[in-house]
Amino acid sequence: MTIGIIGGGQLGLMIAEQARGLGVRTVCLDPAADAPAFRVCDERIVAPFDDAAALEELCRRSDAVTYEFENVPGEILIPLCEKYNIPQGYRPLYDSQDRLREKTNAREHGLRTPRFAAVDDEASLRAAVAELGLPCVLKTRTLGYDGHGQAVLRGEEDIVRALPMLAVPCIAEEFMRFDFEASVVTVDDGREAVCFPVGRNIHRDGILDLCVVPADAGEGLRGRMEAESRRFMRECGYRGILAIEYFVKDGEFYFNEMAPRPHNSAHFTIEGCTTNQFRELVRYLAGMPLERPRLVAPTVMKNILGQDLAAAEAVACESREGVHVHLYGKSESRPKRKMGHITFVGSDAARYAAEWADRFVK
């Protein structure tokens, strides 16, 4: 069995690691010759993501194909789905690639969302501001991630500064003063759907910093979030893996965004659960029965950006029990680039703050 992976970043690396443990081969496509996944996969194809011939070659070498990269051009991927075995299909990728389409789809399938409005020019921006009120958030409809492609509008000066963003289609969203953000990662093979424990996400400068598991939301709320995520996948006809980020406010939850791939917030599952998101994705792609995950112990996952790489390397040298350091082996370290993560199994937010927070850049 060979799985093809479009993308060779850290997600591709961890998919390939879990595939190897299950006796499944992998072939990865990535434009960077030193992509992290190339250290682990069995075959590599170095080519741009929009190289139709290279993508076709990846599919020919594979029994099943997945993607760890959301922005694969649809005009190339759609015909490949008709010719080759891409079990997740194109639909969840397509729905997630445009924020307006994504939120409209979520609302149409029964999930609460913050209020939103399409924005294409200054007139529609001002109409959206009048409808949603200030503050509100302006986002590009495509290609934004980790806080890129968005701006909080609090007054006229912010509106004027944001006008250059309107060179591309945008969406304005209600500014929600939520209690916290949580993620639900689900794998559905069409027969059963398994959810990983709900984590509380803590961001810094628009980038995930910590995921604390379980989220301090109560079993009832966590159970409803999992049930609604499973229902949403089924009603949309999605298969494979889907991560949904929710805003939690006053005991209710609101759809923020989704990703049809393994998710940064669920990296804790590698050591913090009895099975993990990468392993279950591979099991789905390989036609194996899914395993239902169980949380081993309260867990905190810390994202390691470039500014914390040296500290993470020092922690790795200490070989502390329950502390698992994952470094992705990227050739270039930059201050806000994701370079790895550390999972603290048996830790909660208070213990992390007391024992570990001072080791990293604040």
Q: Is the pLDDT of residue 71 over 90?
A: no
Tokens 């059963």 belong to residue: 192
Q: Is the pLDDT of residue 106 over 60?
A: yes
List pLDDT tens digits, range 211-227. 999 999 899 999 999 99
| Beta strands 25-30; 43-46: pairing state | parallel
List pLDDT tens digits, range 142-195. 876 655 789 999 999 999 999 999 999 999 999 999 999 999 999 999 999 999
Domain 2-86 classification at class level: alpha beta
Average pLDDT over the chain reads 96
Q: Determine the CATH number of domain 115-174.
A: 3.30.1490.20
| Beta strands 170-174; 136-140: pairing state | antiparallel
Distance (Å) of CA 262 to CA 167, 183, 185, 187: 31, 12, 8, 10
Q: CATH: 2.60.210.10, 3.40.50.300, 3.30.470.20, 3.40.50.410. Which one for 180-359? A: 3.30.470.20
Largest CA distance in the chain: 58
Query: Can you give the pTM of this predicted structure?
Result: 0.95
Domain boundaries, the chain: 2-86, 115-174, 180-359
List pLDDT tens digits, range 138-151. 999 987 665 578 99
H helical segments located in 200-348: 219-236, 269-272, 277-285, 309-318
Nearest C-alpha neighbor of 343 from the set 290, 284, 276, 294: 276
Distance (Å) of CA 149 to CA 20, 139, 207, 339: 36, 6, 13, 22
Tokens of 325: 């350091």
Q: Looking at residue 111, what is its pLDDT? A: 98
**Are 247 and 256 contacting, i.e. CB atoms less than 8 angstroms apart?**
yes
| Beta strands 150-153; 136-140: pairing state | antiparallel
Confidence category of residue 231, pLDDT binned at 50, 70, 90? very high
Nearest C-alpha neighbor of 87 from the set 222, 217, 238: 238
Nearest C-alpha neighbor of 226 from the set 183, 195, 270, 190: 195
Q: What's the one-letter identity of residue 7?
A: G
